[in-house]
Chain A
C-alpha cells in the first residue's frame, strides 16, 4: 500500500545563521534569525506560521520564538525527543501536522551556542550520574566520544578495519566543506597525514573522528504540496520519513545489545523508510549521513542497506562517497566539517541538493536522503524534486 503521506508536504524554505565558534548572540536570537530567513526563502510571512516544532535538547523555548517574532496563529506544537536522533523526526512530525490539515505552515528550528556555551563534549558534573550514565561515569566514560569509542573498537576487531579506511569519511567531508563558504572548515584543508597524526583522544578515536562543536541555528518551513506549488520556490517534496527505536536502546552506550556493530534503531528506521518510500538504497542520488563520529557513519551505511555488514570500510574508499561517486555523502561538509547543529544542518543540505543549489551539487538529483543519529532512537527522511 502506498504511504498516505507520500509527497503530501514539502520543505519550501530553509534558513541558517553563520556557523561559528562564538556567535556573540543569544540562542533565541539565532533561532529567530534562521526562521526569518527560512520564511523569506519560502516567500511566506510570520503570520503564515501556524505550527511550530523543535527537539528536546533545544535551548530556545517555543514561547521565546512566538514572543520574539510576534507569532499569533500557532495552533499546533510539538517537541521531538532523543537529541541527535530527533532531527529527521521533526520532518515526520511536520508532515503529519500539514497532511492532516491541522496546520498550513509549520516551522521547525534548532539553535545552539554549543561551542561558546555548554559543550556536549564536556561532561556535566552533577552530584551523581543518573540512569545508565551512572554505570559508566565512575570508570571514566563521560562524554560521547568516550562512549562511542567502545563501539568503534569492535569494528576493528570484527572487520579488521583500519584508521586509513576510516580516514575516507573525514577527508571527504572536509573536501566538501572546502567548497562551502558557510562551513567552519571552509578554508582548512585536511590530508591523510593530518588524520593519521591527529591526537588520539579516546583510543581508537582521534580528534578528526569527532564532529565539530558549533554556534549557530537552522530552520525550515513545511507546507502542503499543493500550496508549495503556488510559491515562488523549488519545493523539496517529503517523499517519506521514518522514526524508530532500537531494542535495547540507550544514548550512545549501547553496550548491552547483541552487537556493538549493528544499530537496531538504524536497521528499524531503514526498514520503515524503504517500505514507505517504495525505494531502495540504490535509488538515492545523494545522502547526508549523521556523522557525529566516523565509525557511526560506517555502521549507519551498512544498517541503511548501502553495503553489507562489515563492508563499509571498503565502501567509503575509492571516491565512492565523493561528489562523482556512487553515493555522494555529506556534501556541505557534514557535522565533521561544516558544523554541528545536532544534525539539522544535514536537512538543509538535503534540500539544497533537491533544489540544485549545493556548493557540491550532485547532478540530476531525484532522491535526497538524510539520516539522524545512530545510537539513540532515530529517524530519516527522503526528499525529492
Chain B
C-alpha cells in the first residue's frame, strides 16, 4: 500500500480584519497601501489606527506599481522545507513610488540586482485564494 507523502506548501499569512484587504488587493492584482481617510498618511504594513492623527477611519490607495530595489537577500540555504531545492533565489525590499517599502519576489538574474534597480509590481497566483508580489525589472 503506497502512502501519500504530504506536500509541504508555501508558507502563507494569517489574515485579520486590519490586513485582509491588503492581501485581497494582491488577489485582484492590485498593490494597495493603507491611506488614512482623515489625514492621508500612507501606512505599510497596515494597521488599525493612523499613527500620525490617530484616526480609525482607514482607507486604501491603489499604487502605480513602480518602485526601486532598496535591498535584497539571496537565500542560498533555505530553512523552510517548501524552499528546499529552489535556491538560490532572491527576495527584494522595494521602495515604491508612493514612498513606502514592500517585500516581494523578483523575476531577474541575480547579478542584475543593484541598489535603485527600477522594478514594476506584477502578481503571481499561488492558489484561488492567495496571490503574491512578483517584481519585474523595468528595462
Contacts and interface: CB of A to CB of B under 8 A. Distances in A.
Interface string A119-130: 001110111111
A143 B48 CA distance: 27
Given A146-B79, A256-B100, A134 B14 contact: yes
B132 A139 contact: yes
Contact of B80 (A123, A151, A202, A260): A123
Nearest to A119: B79
B115 interface: yes
B75 A260 contact: no
Given A134-B12, A139-B132, A150 B101 contact: no
A1 interface: no
A140 interface: yes
Contacts of A101: none
Contacts of B15: 134
A138 B10 contact: yes
Interface string B60-78: 0000000000111111111
A132 B132 CA distance: 15
Interface in A165-213: 199-203
Nearest to A147: B73
A125 B132 contact: no
Interface in A93-152: 121-123, 125-130, 132-143, 146, 149-151
B73 A150 contact: yes
A142 B93 CA distance: 15
Given A122-B79, A132-B45, A142 B11 contact: yes
Nearest to B115: A157
A75 interface: no
Contacts of B101: 255-256
A342 B130 CA distance: 36
Interface in A250-285: 255-256, 260
A143 B81 CA distance: 12
A298 B25 CA distance: 38
A153 B92 CA distance: 11
- With a 10 A CB-CB cut-off, give which of A126, A132, A146 has the most chain B CB atoms: A146
Chain B's interface size range is 35 or more
A203 B76 contact: yes
A227 interface: no
Contacts of B73: 141, 146, 149-150, 153, 202-203
Contact of A138 (B13, B51, B77, B88): B13
A203 B70 CA distance: 15
A154 interface: yes
Contact of A202 (B74, B93, B115, B126): B74
A200 B75 CA distance: 9
B14 A128 contact: yes
Nearest to B78: A140
Contacts of A127: 14
Interface in B6-58: 8, 10-15, 19, 44-45, 51
B91 interface: yes
B5 to A, nearest CB: 15
- With a 10 A CB-CB cut-off, give which of B14, B79, B133 has the most chain A CB atoms: B79
B77 A256 contact: no
A333 to B, nearest CB: 24
Contacts of A121: 79
- With a 10 A CB-CB cut-off, give which of B74, B100, B132 has the most chain A CB atoms: B74
B12 A138 contact: yes
Interface of B: 8, 10-15, 19, 44-45, 51, 70-81, 83, 86, 88-89, 91, 93, 100-101, 103-105, 115, 126, 130, 132-133
13 contacts: A123-B80, A128-B12, A130-B14, A134-B12, A134-B13, A138-B132, A140-B75, A150-B71, A150-B72, A153-B73, A203-B73, A248-B51, A256-B44
Given A151-B71, A201-B76, A202-B76, 20 more contacts: A121-B79, A125-B8, A125-B11, A134-B14, A134-B15, A136-B103, A137-B12, A138-B13, A138-B132, A139-B105, A140-B86, A140-B91, A143-B80, A154-B70, A202-B74, A203-B75, A255-B71, A255-B103, A256-B45, A260-B71
Nearest first, the 5 A-B pairs at minimum CB distance are A134-B13, A203-B74, A128-B14, A137-B11, A149-B73
Interface of A: 121-123, 125-130, 132-143, 146, 149-151, 153-154, 157, 199-203, 248, 255-256, 260
